[in-house]
Structure 1
Amino acid sequence: MPQQFDTRLPPFDRLSDAEQQRLSQSLDIVYFRAGETVINAGSDCQQLYIIIKGNIEEHSDSNSNIPHHDEPHTYAHYANDDLFDVSAQLKGISEHSFTAREDTLCYSLPRQWFVDSYQANPQFAAYFDTNLTTRQALLEEAQQQQNLAEFILTKIDDDNIQPCLLVPATASLLSVTKQMQQQNIDAAFVAMPNRTQEEIPNSATTPHHEQTLRAVNPQYGIVTRTDLLHAIMLDGHDNHTSVATIATAPVISIEKGDYLFNAMLAMTRHKVKRVLVFQQQGEHQQVVGMLDLTQVLSLFSTHSHVLTLRIARAQTIDELALAANSQQTLVETLFNNGIRTLFVMELIATVNEQIIEKAFQLIVPTHLQPHFCFMVMGSEGRGEQILKTDQDNALIIANDTALSFNNNSDNSNTTEHDPHHTSWSQCHAIMQQLTHTLQQLGYPLCPGKVMVNNPHWVQSQHDWLKRIDQLCEQGDPQSLMELAILADSHAVAGQKSLLTPLLERIHQHLSEHEVLLTTFTRPALQFSVPLTLFGNLKASKQGLNIKQGGIFPIVHGVRALALEHHISATNTFTRLQALANQRVLEQSTADNLSEALKLFIKLRLQQQLSQAHDGLHHHIDISQLARVERDLLRHSLHVVKKFKEWLGYRYQIRD
């Protein structure tokens, strides 16, 4: 087998060692000149090809032996790492012709090898299943295995070492307790330089590899808060007793630069929660810090719990900003550790909600908070935001709130001494400050001004209901897009129940008026799917616009269906499952749309984090995608195309 062929790429990573050995014996390299026919339609195809370099066109021709193929038609183009003709391997005959459009180099695999592997290995066969969900699951499983290996190979360095308290053996219990309290730590290491290896019981039985790691270190002991409490309260030790008297020795230690996984193994093997980290300098060891079991485990779980705790404890905007600024790091860690996109989305949605709610609590006067409902909309309202996007928010004010809605008057003469009254100008000032604060926390201003500093998006509950009625009565595209924004509202702070009647009113209007629903759904069909007439990926110089061509048609189409069928959820994935449960969509259709949307969001996030397309957040540079990602993207866009055709038929939308 040529050395360049990488069996780690799906679907060949699903093969057993024996199957990969047979692959190495079967693989060959072939060369086709530009214009040369590789496969004729109707022929008995005996080879599966994998392109190394070049371009192959799949098309019909007038000489085809297949019925209904009289007119020439191009179906797809294949480039580096693409496979063709898979269907012919199973059917025994090629339905289309394949021609080299430039000089092309390919691997070739005998059909018999492919058929044998397909029949013998269900995981290998599943990759070629037309079900998008199955293929995506196999890819994610492979990524999780890879990320587990990366975790095992993570080394102990300054990024994960914790500082530690090191005290002399002669230090008193009182002084050690004070130092631990001042540094807010629950353990201290005790230097015991006179202790030798011979003093350690059973030291000769220590496994050789652990001695190499210096897992058992006789030069140090450890004392915890619990040890100090027991020493004084239960054992009757005096405050001035030396700490060496109660220290547990020896400690378990590990060298800086060793694998983090070895630290976890040492803790497990010795049944301890902390290890000392040292750095070897000649013949001497220098203590550089410590690791504890909770920290090691949290390094694998991305510290998300630490972030939410910091948000909850924030007492000022500056403290909240410090927590909010670490959010992208959390996203990058989750993404790089192979955590599933849906989980990342749910976690970040929760974190965003906590940040915004905390900002609301810090900015809005306490006596007003029960009279306000602060709601977010757009991707944030659906819980589908990963990286921070433009602000999309609004405010509902309870009908009984003593607030003037006349922008020209704040009724200051009659209410200036009422601490529970807030004039319109005061409310506007508060909302201006809240918008500015959210901007400080990393949420950019909305270019369309869909924010609470815009009076259009701050109204009483009564006026909001009137506004919804007006939008439905007008029924023009602009009014219905505003309605679509409101339909994805999610209450995050204040009196959240104020939002419920608004959503119920929207559902009522759209479920009862078919013409209105048709106009509402039409934007889902507005943008073309970025596929060429040949079924290949289509991209401009800026890249493939994944929001217009993939994300928006699914999100808006599913939103229309959810409103028609009284589904209260705002999250697209939840809506899809509810539509499947109500038999509006086939379960397989809902699953494929869900997987397609997850892939679009994942690919967009992947390029945003790499800054490969800085400034073009919704464009995908398809040249940066691996072959399997291009294949899944192409498949997913075909799912979107089919869904749009179904929507057009269902709502009788004609262009």
Structure 2
Amino acid sequence: MPEPFDTSQPPFDCLTPAQAKQCRQALDVGYFRRGDSLIHAGDTGEQLFIIIKGSVEEVSEEGKEVFSHYTSEDLFDVPALVHGTAKHQYRALEDTLCHLLPAEVFLAIYHSNQDFRDYFETNLQRRQALMVQARQQQNLAEFMLTRIDDSNIQPALCISPTLTIKAATAQMKAERCDCALVTFDDGDCGIITRTNLLHALVLDGYDQSAPVGEVATRPVVSVERGDFLFHAMISMTRQCVKRVRVVDQQGQTAGMLDLPQVLSLFSTHSHVLNLQIARAQTIDELVIAANSQSKLVHTLFNNGIHTRFVMQLIATVNEQIMEKSFRLLVPENYQNQCCMVVMGSEGRGEQVLKTDQDNALILADDLDWPDCQQVMAAFSHTLYQLGYPPCPGNVMVSNPKWVKTASQWQQTVRNLVQSANEQSVMDLAILADSQAIAGDLSLINAIQTPLHEALSDNMLALNTFVRPALAFRVPLTVFGSLKSSKEGLDIKKGGIFPIVHGVRTMSLEKGITETNTFERLAQLAQLGTLADETAENLSEALKLFIRLRLRQQLRGEQQSNRLDVADLPSSERDLLRHGLHVVKKFKQSLAFHYHVRD
């Protein structure tokens, strides 16, 4: 074979060794000059083209309409091979070199290898699922090499065997433990759990004054600090227990591990962070916990965890951090008379890395809180300490504009709808994604109720509201290929924002109260407002855009929304191009539905 062919790239990475060898042996190389037609409409499919270098465009039979553009590592024309006839013409835009795989070899593999065949399905969701599956990597290996240490063990409550069942239960409740270790005089150790105590009192007839030493289970299964977490899980499985005692080198109790925690560490390593947040008693302790968040994102992403799961988990962690900040800073007597609200990507539950603060506060109408603004300034500063940068637009509780009583918020929303100018549309879009996270959560209705009442089926107002989704061009050339500047392809303006704001607009029209874009899409499909396939493709496109941006941000460009297209493998460029075409069609449907003309 004149040129080496890499079968480690999708879809050839799913070939068996025999199929990969068959493929390599059958490959030839073709050279085409600029302007040459590689395939004519109506030709029978004789070979698969895989571009080594150069570029090719797919056009209509008469050459007037351009359907797509192919470059290095792209392949075509599978439909002609499968169905026997090419529908379009393919011509070289520059001198082009291609690998050529004979049709009979391609079809033999296509019909015998399900994974290979599935790759060529046009449904974006299925193709991206295959990509995610191909990227699944060493989550198990990482877990097997993780050791038991102070970062993942829980403190153990140790009690005397002479303590009464009633006193032990009260102590477990006070310290929020569901189990306790019972240390006997002979050096042995037992364990009591809530289940032990319940059975002892209800089934075995013990009195509350009975000593816990009589009902404790022993011996306790133990593991050593410094051993592997994997061994702890094996011990739990073999002994049919949900908890193990962790001991140090001298055999003394160092802590506890339970099965849900170990499984959580196995899948995401997030449980430790949740415990740190819950146990934080000061802002300094909370800062330490918040600083672990970026490590969690790296772990999740590098282990191939599904993008939407990452977003849901990080959104939950962010809520916990902010809710804990609220409780540490806001005086307790005011906490149930106000509501802390997050907005933007945080309000939609679609934030991954920490981005600008977007928050507001709703006060009860009868609340008298003279120091409110000073406390809110401290809250915004604390979030800054926790790694959340100030909002450039000053959409923060430190700005009095975003702190109002319930009645004031209701009137504000009505005024914004009536104004219908550029700034009011921006503020409405921010408020449309409001999510209550702390305090009296019912106060969020002061924003959500008037917003939905004013915009539901209000096509005149929505005509103005939807326009920002149509303001940025989709980064595709007239030939249907990816369009990128020296700074890169702006995936936020060109892909993410049109989906998010377009779906937000349609949801407001239909009175959908969900703030998450994926949930909004599901409900729009359920209502029949969007076809199932359209909602599915928009969902998959959004996940793809977020994942590609996240990967680039994790490499050090944390605030960048621009993708280096040249750095993407061919398979991901193809998915990106497909996803942007989905966005282009969606924008066209938005303009038509809301009667927006350029």
- Per the normalisation by structure 2, the TM-score is 0.82
Match of 2:505 in 1: 560
**Residue from 81, 91, 96 that aligns with 1:89:** 81
**Residue from 569, 581, 592 that aligns with 1:626:** 569
- Are 2:420 and 2:464, in contact at CA under 8 Å, matched by a contact in 1? yes
Q: Does 1:143 align with 2:135?
A: yes
Residue-by-residue CA offset, 1:597-648 (whole Å, 9 max, x unaligned): 111111111110112xx26521111122111111111101001111111111
- Are 2:189 and 2:220, in contact at CA under 8 Å, matched by a contact in 1? no
Rounded to whole Å, the distance in 1 between the matches of 2:446 and 2:57 is 55
Offset, 1:277: 11
Q: What count of residue pairs does the alignment treat as equivalent?
A: 545
Rounded to whole Å, the distance in 2 between the matches of 1:307 and 1:477 is 41
Offset, 1:25: 3.5
Q: Does 1:649 align with 2:592?
A: yes
- Are 2:56 and 2:71, in contact at CA under 8 Å, matched by a contact in 1? no
With over 3 angstroms needed to count, the CA separation of the structure-2 counterparts of 1:269 and 1:277, relative to structure 1, is farther
Rounded to whole Å, the distance in 2 between the matches of 1:583 and 1:506 is 23
Rounded to whole Å, the distance in 2 between the matches of 1:12 and 1:505 is 54
Q: What SS does structure 2 have at the residue aligned with 1:429?
A: helix
With over 3 angstroms needed to count, the CA separation of the structure-2 counterparts of 1:557 and 1:162, relative to structure 1, is same
Match of 1:547 in 2: 492
Structure 1 letter corresponding to 2:515: T
Q: What SS does structure 1 have at the residue aligned with 2:551?
A: helix
Rounded to whole Å, the distance in 2 between the matches of 1:303 and 1:315 is 22
Match of 2:157 in 1: none
Offset, 1:341: 0.7
Residue-by-residue CA offset, 1:108-139 (whole Å, 9 max, x unaligned): 11112223333344432222222111111222
Matching of residues 390-429 of structure 1 within 5 Å: 390-402=356-368, 422-423=369-370, 426-429=371-374
**Residue from 129, 135, 160 that aligns with 2:147:** 160
Match of 2:462 in 1: 517
Residue-by-residue CA offset, 1:61-91 (whole Å, 9 max, x unaligned): xxx8x3xx254x5443322221122222234
Q: Does 1:502 align with 2:447?
A: yes
Larger CA Rg, structure 1 vs 2: 1
Rounded to whole Å, the distance in 2 between the matches of 1:627 and 1:390 is 33
Match of 2:296 in 1: 330
Offset, 1:155: 8.5
5+ residue gaps, structure 1:
165-172, 175-185, 188-222, 236-245, 279-288, 403-421
Structure 1 letter corresponding to 2:283: I
With over 3 angstroms needed to count, the CA separation of the structure-2 counterparts of 1:505 and 1:360, relative to structure 1, is same
Match of 2:28 in 1: 28
Q: What SS does structure 1 have at the residue aligned with 2:190?
A: helix
With over 3 angstroms needed to count, the CA separation of the structure-2 counterparts of 1:300 and 1:128, relative to structure 1, is same
Rounded to whole Å, the distance in 2 between the matches of 1:568 and 1:475 is 21
Match of 2:477 in 1: 532
With over 3 angstroms needed to count, the CA separation of the structure-2 counterparts of 1:224 and 1:537, relative to structure 1, is farther
- Are 2:223 and 2:232, in contact at CA under 8 Å, matched by a contact in 1? no
Structure 2 letter corresponding to 1:328: S
Rounded to whole Å, the distance in 2 between the matches of 1:504 and 1:271 is 51
Residue-by-residue CA offset, 1:478-508 (whole Å, 9 max, x unaligned): 2122111111100111111111132111111
Residue-by-residue CA offset, 1:127-162 (whole Å, 9 max, x unaligned): 222211111122222223xx2xx24444976x6353
Q: What SS does structure 2 have at the residue aligned with 1:368?
A: helix
Offset, 1:314: 0.9
Structure 1 stretch displaced more, 101-110 or 426-435: 101-110
Rounded to whole Å, the distance in 2 between the matches of 1:271 and 1:577 is 41
**Residue from 569, 577, 580 that aligns with 1:637:** 580
With over 3 angstroms needed to count, the CA separation of the structure-2 counterparts of 1:579 and 1:389, relative to structure 1, is same
Structure 1 letter corresponding to 2:273: L
**Residue from 344, 352, 356 that aligns with 2:318:** 352
Rounded to whole Å, the distance in 2 between the matches of 1:109 and 1:445 is 55
Rounded to whole Å, the distance in 1 between the matches of 2:235 and 2:449 is 58
Structure 2 letter corresponding to 1:481: M
Match of 1:58 in 2: 57
With over 3 angstroms needed to count, the CA separation of the structure-2 counterparts of 1:427 and 1:635, relative to structure 1, is same
With over 3 angstroms needed to count, the CA separation of the structure-2 counterparts of 1:342 and 1:3, relative to structure 1, is same
Rounded to whole Å, the distance in 1 between the matches of 2:359 and 2:305 is 29
Q: Does 1:226 align with 2:226?
A: no
With over 3 angstroms needed to count, the CA separation of the structure-2 counterparts of 1:252 and 1:443, relative to structure 1, is closer
5+ residue gaps, structure 2:
152-159, 162-179, 182-186, 193-211
Rounded to whole Å, the distance in 1 between the matches of 2:224 and 2:570 is 45
- Are 2:452 and 2:511, in contact at CA under 8 Å, matched by a contact in 1? yes
Rounded to whole Å, the distance in 2 between the matches of 1:270 and 1:474 is 68
RMSD: 3.6
Match of 1:190 in 2: none
- Are 2:338 and 2:364, in contact at CA under 8 Å, matched by a contact in 1? yes
Rounded to whole Å, the distance in 2 between the matches of 1:75 and 1:583 is 29
Rounded to whole Å, the distance in 1 between the matches of 2:512 and 2:45 is 50
Q: Does 1:372 align with 2:338?
A: yes
Offset, 1:535: 0.5
Structure 2 letter corresponding to 1:338: G
Structure 2 letter corresponding to 1:434: F
Offset, 1:276: 9.8
Offset, 1:3: 8.6
Rounded to whole Å, the distance in 2 between the matches of 1:641 and 1:574 is 21
